[in-house]
Amino acid sequence: MANQTRVVVRKVADVAQSDLEVAIIGSGFAGLGMGIALRQRGETRFAIFEQAKGLGGTWRDNHYPGAGCDVPSPLYSFSFEPNPDWTRLYSGQAEILAYLEHCARKYELAPHLRFGQGLAHAAFDETRGHWVLELTTGQTVTARVLVSGMGGLSRPAIPALPGLERFEGVTFHSAQWRHDVPLEGKTVAVVGTGASAIQFVPRLQPLVKKLVLFQRTPPWILPKADRAHGPLERALYRRVPAAQAALRRKIFWQHELRYFALQNERLSALGARLARAHLRRQVKDPALRARLTPDYRLGCKRVLLSNDYFPAVASPNVELVTQGIDSVTGTGVRTRDGQEHAVDAIVLGTGFRATDLFTPLTLRGLGGVDLNDAWRGGLEAYRGTTVAGFPNLFFLVGPNTGLGHNSMILMIEAQIRYVLGALDALREGQLAWLDVKPAAQATYNAQLQARLGGSVWASGCSSWYHDAQGRNTTLWPGTTLEFSRLLARFDVEAYARQPRPLELVPAPLRQAAGGAR
């Protein structure tokens, strides 16, 4: 094993018992899914740390009017916990949050949830072989393994608009919706036309006196095949679980095949024709249609689903502004043509900092290296899950695990299985830690970036998939089935392994290794 183990500065002779076996950060789908998997294996020495006062992650924070998922709920749910009581094919935020709360109750996660305790700093103690976590409460906790379930869509992106701080009205991001601010009868500016905006704009439009919508790039929008799940259908799913399982399989294959449609230029052109037909049906004004028509290949940016966005934008009280924003004044928004749009409130539908996972957190690995410094040239991980120089650290929804065609829950479950394999390797191999080899990480990412370079996401548009250097550090370049197969086995040979001192190995394993000393 010596030739497989990275040389470290300190010895591990005094590795100590940590407070926890596993510390999980975040209580969304990823964090809860990891906790459930540990509970199902009989693990009790773990905790889920959550900075907010309740669980849910994205589905707790994004409660703007019209918030919902653009993946059908039978697929946007854990494979091991189907919900027969979805009231719609595409459920809204409240139902998804209720589902997560149900999962936490059913799998008895309450004793492991630590609300109001976010992660402030973390450092790997090479001498003792565990992570030291400094929480926002000032408490210090140690854990042998650290799992990040924070995801990439957790930090709102606030645009650097000159003068934004001078605006005398109310400003808020869609992920920090101010329900206490009455917008009825007001003139409201909406900045951004992404996935959140196309959901809340149709809800705002009937309420406000005027809505000024600032669009930088129009999105491709397809019809949303939503429908209600009536009482009889829900009763069928409760009594015949196989019926809902069949629906999930059907939806899965419909979405999985979209990957090939997006990557094939002829098929994506067909999708673009469908999107243009959808636009023609809903917007009669040819000049407005022209400004709502994208000039890039369908799939290069996130494809959106909506049946009510275009009618809202075409309403008489909505003004679509495609001039770039120059600045914000005390009373409105000034565009680059010199026109000032007077508004009472500004709603930012500007998305998230998806390529900036950890800042301003400090997370230090071997030799005290900060993850932010390791990622200075761009986010990078091995199989989207581990990072060289950061032993026993695992990311769920890490770099290059995002999707443009299917359910992220499929990716999360594949990563959870991979982490469980790593935990088995630590225990069975009597290891203090595992650290992915730099060469393995470099080779993996070179291959991954080569595939992305020939994909639809590199066909010429600018999107949040890319970082400041132009690298796509967000998306997985293949199908979910391919990712699941890739992570089906924990490939311990790709990792440097640090043996654990024999006296700290549990007695049954010591005996198997030849007796305690």
**Residue 141: phi, psi to the nearest 5?**
-130, 145
Average pLDDT on 224-243 reads 97
Determine the length of the chain: 517
- Looking from the CA of 196 toward its CB, the CA atoms found within 13 Å total 25
Share of the chain above pLDDT 70, in %: 91
Query: Crossing angle of helices 93-106/29-40, nearest 10°?
Result: 20
Digit-coded pLDDT (tens) for 20-54: 999 999 999 999 999 999 999 999 999 999 999 99
Cα Rg of the chain (Å, integer): 24
Q: Which domains does the chain have, with CATH numbers?
A: 14-155+354-512 (3.50.50.60), 164-348 (3.50.50.60)
Residues 212/321, Cβ–Cβ less than 8 Å:
yes
Q: Which residues contact 413 (CB under 8 A, 6 or more apart)?
A: 33, 78, 79, 484
Average pLDDT on 474-481 reads 97
pLDDT of residue 170: 96
Least confident of 136-150, 159-173, 309-323, 456-470: 456-470
Q: Which residues contact 133 (CB under 8 A, 6 or more apart)?
A: 23, 49, 119, 121, 122, 140, 141, 142, 143, 146
Share of the chain above pLDDT 90, in %: 85
Rounded distance between C-alpha atoms, residue 484 and residue 191, angstroms? 37
**Residue 246: phi, psi to the nearest 5?**
-65, -40
Q: Evaluate if residue 7 carries a pLDDT over 70.
A: no
| Token digits of residue 331 | 């009373």
Digit-coded pLDDT (tens) for 179-205: 999 999 999 999 999 999 999 999 999
Average pLDDT on 123-149 reads 96
Rounded distance between C-alpha atoms, residue 152 and residue 33, angstroms? 17
Rounded distance between C-alpha atoms, residue 473 and residue 467, angstroms? 7
Rounded distance between C-alpha atoms, residue 267 and residue 265, angstroms? 6
Digit-coded pLDDT (tens) for 252-309: 999 999 999 999 999 999 999 999 999 999 999 999 999 999 999 999 999 999 999 9
Average pLDDT on 122-140 reads 95
pLDDT of residue 60: 95
Average pLDDT on 334-361 reads 86
Say which amino acid occupies 395. Answer: F
Measured CA to CA in angstroms, residue 360 lies from 66, 122, 301, 363 at distances of: 30, 12, 27, 10
pLDDT category of residue 345 using cuts at 50, 70 and 90: very high
Q: Evaluate if residue 352 carries a pLDDT over 90.
A: no
pLDDT of residue 152: 67
Residues 435/382, Cβ–Cβ less than 8 Å:
no
**Residue 190: phi, psi to the nearest 5?**
-120, 120
Beta bridge partners of 402: 475
Q: Evaluate if residue 431 carries a pLDDT over 90.
A: yes
Provide the mean pLDDT of the chain: 92
Rounded distance between C-alpha atoms, residue 397 and residue 409, angstroms? 9
